[in-house]
Amino acid sequence: MKSRLFLGLSLAIASIACGRRDAEAKRELPKVRMSVSHLLTWGPIMIANAEGFFRDEGVEVEYVNALDSHEDLVALITGDLDVMSGPMHGAFLSAIAQGAKIKIVAGQGYLARDGCTFFGVVRRGDLAPDSSVRRLRASRDGLTRFITERMLERAGVDIKRIEVMKVPDAVTLRSLESGSIDAVASGEPTLTRLKAAGPLWLAAEKAVPDFQWGTIAFGERLLYKDRDTGTRFLRAYSRGVAQYLQGKTDRNVAIVAKETGDTPDLIRKACWLPFRSDLRVNWQSVDEFQAWAKKKGLLQRLLSRDQAMDTTFLSTNFPHSTAPTQ
């Protein structure tokens, strides 16, 4: 009798536990809409999503394919996006200056001074070392334009003497091989592909060592209305960064290759942008970019760190991130 009673209680407890797990699984998690480009820079986010870290932390991430940076910015300001990630641009900082309720909350990757080359300029293979570059494929504004100018300055080249062209990624390699352009400024993994057509000429980490390449920004909802969800998002992202920093493991390569659509071989050959494990932002980089953007007329006034960033997410919720931003 006692054994049957014990068995019955055990089955009842197990049934209740299963019911709770089923209810938890069916519970609708708060959704976070974020823009994402399927490039190596988003590796930690890809890993966090693939490994279920976001759901583990109690959020559901909805990818919105990144379009034009200005369109993403408008979506972040209006609340159509909750999270925007990637390289900085002047319009983002200008929006904050004009009162937009958006801020940087964490860092993405950075150009380690002693690291591999994630962003650089490749020259045509048949171009003599002493020949001038006349036609360069590069961005005309934003962070990559700033870095390209710094690389050229370091090499003693005035970008005003170069025709800067906008060439689609799909035909960049062919354009370089055909000679219709002399050089290409690009990031990984495109940079690795381009090396088949010519040598690496300029390396970003030499011109702007330890520069902050990308940032994570929140919109009004996560900054003010639902900070708990913002914290959960960053906790999952932090776990993705930790796994990413394990390097080119079979699992990480498989996830990134699937998300980017590139071959595992290319992903292994490419330079993986380093990330700071504490997610902090090198504020000096933001200041340098702001000064350049203001000089170019892309920014009307400079912002302080407190104006552009909300550091409380990291300092309050991530004890390992208590070190001040630089």
**DSSP string of 72-117, one letter each residue:** HHHHHHHTS-SEEEES--HHHHHHHHTT-S-EEEEE--EE-TTS--
Give the pLDDT confidence of 19-40 residue by residue, as tens digits: 544 544 456 899 999 988 888 9
**DSSP string of 27-69, one letter each residue:** SPPPEEEEEE-SSGGGHHHHHHHHTTHHHHTT-EEEEEE---H
Is 168's pLDDT higher than 80? Answer: yes
* Architecture (CATH level 2) of domain 119-207: 3-Layer(aba) Sandwich (3.40)
Per-domain residue ranges for the chain? 29-111+212-321, 119-207
Band (pLDDT 50/70/90 cuts) for residue 67 is: low
- Residues 99/231, Cβ–Cβ less than 8 Å: no
One-letter identity of residue 59: V
Band (pLDDT 50/70/90 cuts) for residue 167 is: confident
Is 5's pLDDT higher than 80? Answer: no
Q: What is the pTM of this model?
A: 0.86
* Mean pLDDT of the chain, nearest integer: 88
Say if 29-111+212-321 and 119-207 have the same CATH topology.
yes
| pLDDT for res 6 | 44
168's tokens: 């689609």
Give the pLDDT confidence of 188-199 residue by residue, as tens digits: 999 999 998 999
- Which CATH superfamily is 29-111+212-321 part of? Periplasmic binding protein-like II (3.40.190.10)
